[in-house]
Chain A
C-alpha cells in the first residue's frame, strides 16, 4: 500500500469531534484538554507509553469511560448521560479489546449474531449468513461452530473483529488488539486489520505496531501524561519527530 492511495477514502465529513475534553479518575487527571477530529475513512494510530491515557481516550469515544468536561460528538450526536444516545452511538462504533472479551458460553457464530439479533432485530438466518461472510473475511469460517476456548489467541481476536463488523459499524476502535498475542499471531490479526483499512473503514487504533502505523495510518498521534503531544502523517512522525518526548519514545520502541 502506498502513501498516495491511502487517503483516497477520506472524505471531508467529520465523524468524531472531540473538543477540550478532560477526564479525571478521582483526583487523578487522566486526560487533559484533548482536541481531535476524525474524518470519514481516516485511519488513526495512537501510541505512547503505558499510562499515557490512550486507551482511556478511545474508551471515551463509545462511553465505556465517562468524560467530565468538554465535548465528544460522534456522527453529530453528543455523548452525555442520555442512554438512548449512548446506545445509538455504540451500535455504529465497533470495538476490539486487548483481551478479546469473546463470550465464552457462546459459539463463534453465536458471538457474531448476538448483537445483530438482539440490537438490530435481524432475522437469525440473515444474521448467520452475514456472520459467515465476515468470518470468511477474517479467514476462519471453519471455526464457526467452535467455542472461543477452543481457539488460539490470534483466532479469537479475529473472531472479535468479525463480531464487531457484524453490526456494520461506521467506525472501528482497536484497543491494543495485538498486545496479548504471540508474535506469529500478531501478523494474522494485523493482516485482517490492513485488509479492513483498505475497505475505507474509519479506524482508530491504539497500538505499538509501528510497521502497521507506517503502512496504514493517515495520521499518528503521540500521547503522554494524558495529553496529545504530537500528531502528524506517519512519514513525518517517524522521520522528523518534533518534540523531544516523541524522539525519546521512538528511539526506545524502535531500538530493537
Chain B
C-alpha cells in the first residue's frame, strides 16, 4: 500500500513539473479568462445599448447623409450630393481620400527621402549640410504642428479668393481656395489611347526579354531604360494624335469683372483644395526625413570592400552603384521603409485637424456625430486601416524577399 501511494504522489508531482502538462493548464486558464472578459464586455455593451435605446447593426449605411463634404478626389469619383448620397458613399469617399493622400504622400516621401539620404552622404559640404538641417528639423517637430504650419502659415499667405497667383501660365493658378488647373475630360475614342498604353507595357516586357536574349547571344546591351521610356510615352501619344487627340481640357475659369461676390474661380476645371496640399506636404516631408535616415544607414551598411572589389574588376562607378551597392543597400532599407509607409498611412488620420475629408475626419467625425453608432463605425474604420496596413506589408515583404541575401 505504501508503495502505491508513493508512486501516486510521485506521478502527481512529476505531472506538476511536466512541461507539457503545465503548458496545457496555462492555456486552459488563459482561455477561460479571455472568454469571460469578452463575455462580460459584450454583455455589458449590449445592456448599455438597450438602456440608451440605441440601434445596432449596419442598417445606417443605407440612410442618406445630409451634410456637405469638402470637394476632393472622393467626392468627384463617387459623385456625392448631400441629402441624396448614403453613409456608405461617405465611407467610400473617406477611403478614397485617405488612399489619395497616402499614396501620393508615399511617392513624394520616397523620392525626397532617397534624395536627402544620398545628399547626406555627399562629400559636398552644401548638399551635406542642407540634408542634415532638413532631416534634423523635420523629424524633430511634431507632425501635427507641421500640418498646421503648412495650412495656417504657408497656404494662408496666398492671395484671397477674389485674386490669384499664376504658376507659369494662366491655366495653372493658386489662391487661398486651392490649386486650379485644367481638368481632362475623355471623349469618344480616348479608350484607344488607354489600350495603346496597355500595349506599351506589353511591348516593354517583350523588349526586356529580347534585350536579355540579345545579351546572352551576342553580348550587346540595349539601352533598355531609354527604349522603354520612349515606348511608354511614344506609343500612346502617337495613337492619341492619330485619333485627333480625343481628350478635352476644361480650363479653370477666373472672373475678375462683374459683381464682386461672383468674382474669383468658377466651378470648372480641376481644383486641389489647400487641405489636401497641406496634409500631403506635411506628411511627405515629415516622413521623408525618416526615410532619408533609413537610406543613409542602408548605403553605409554596404562595406567599402564591395565597392573596391567592383572597381578592381573594372566596373564603372555607375555600374558599381547599380549592380553592387544598391541591391545590397535595399535589403537594409526595405524593412524600415515599410514601417515608414505604414506610419504615413496611419498619420494621415491627423487630417481631422484641418478638416481634410479623410476616413477618420468624415466618417468618425461628421457621420458618427449624426448616426451615433460608434461600435460599428469605429470597427469599420479599424478594419480599413488594418486592410491598408496588411496590404502594404504584403507588397513590401514580397519585394524584400526578392532582395534577400541567401546565407547558409
Contact = CB atoms under 8 A, between A and B. Distances in A.
B219 interface: yes
A99 B306 CA distance: 10
A60 interface: no
Contacts of A124: 215-216, 219
Contacts of A22: none
Interface stretch (B39-47, B115-123, B314-322, B345-353): B314-322
Interface stretch (A12-20, A69-77, A115-123, A244-252): A115-123
B327 interface: yes
Given A122-B219, A123-B217, A164-B313, A150 B408 contact: yes
Interface in A113-135: 114-115, 117-126
B378 interface: no
A121 B405 contact: no
A118 B323 contact: yes
Contacts of A51: none
Contact of A99 (B305, B324, B406): B305
A85 B200 CA distance: 41
A97 interface: yes
Given A90-B314, A91-B314, A105 B327 contact: yes
Nearest to B331: A105
B210 to A, nearest CB: 14
A212 interface: no
A114 B217 contact: no
Interface residues of B, number: 30
B309 A101 contact: yes
Interface residues of A, number: 34
A87 B315 CA distance: 7
A49 interface: no
Given A101-B305, A105-B327, A105-B328, A87 B316 contact: yes
Contacts of B55: none
A147 B312 contact: no
A95 interface: yes
A171 to B, nearest CB: 12
B215 A117 contact: yes
Interface string B284-309: 00000000000000000001011011
B311 A64 contact: yes
Contacts of B216: 123-125
Interface string B193-233: 00000000000000000000001111111000000000000
A95 B312 contact: yes
Contacts of A167: 313-314
B407 interface: yes
A124 B214 CA distance: 9
B282 to A, nearest CB: 36
A156 B406 CA distance: 15
B328 A104 contact: yes
Contacts of A95: 309, 312
Find the residue from B218, B221, B308, B319 having the highest chain A CB count within 10 A. Answer: B308
B313 A163 contact: yes
Top 3 A-B residue pairs of the complex, sorted by shortest distance between their CB atoms: A101-B309, A115-B313, A91-B314
27 contacts: A62-B312, A64-B308, A64-B312, A87-B314, A94-B313, A97-B309, A101-B309, A103-B306, A103-B324, A114-B313, A118-B319, A119-B315, A119-B319, A121-B219, A121-B221, A123-B216, A123-B217, A123-B218, A123-B219, A126-B219, A147-B405, A147-B407, A149-B405, A150-B406, A150-B408, A163-B313, A164-B312
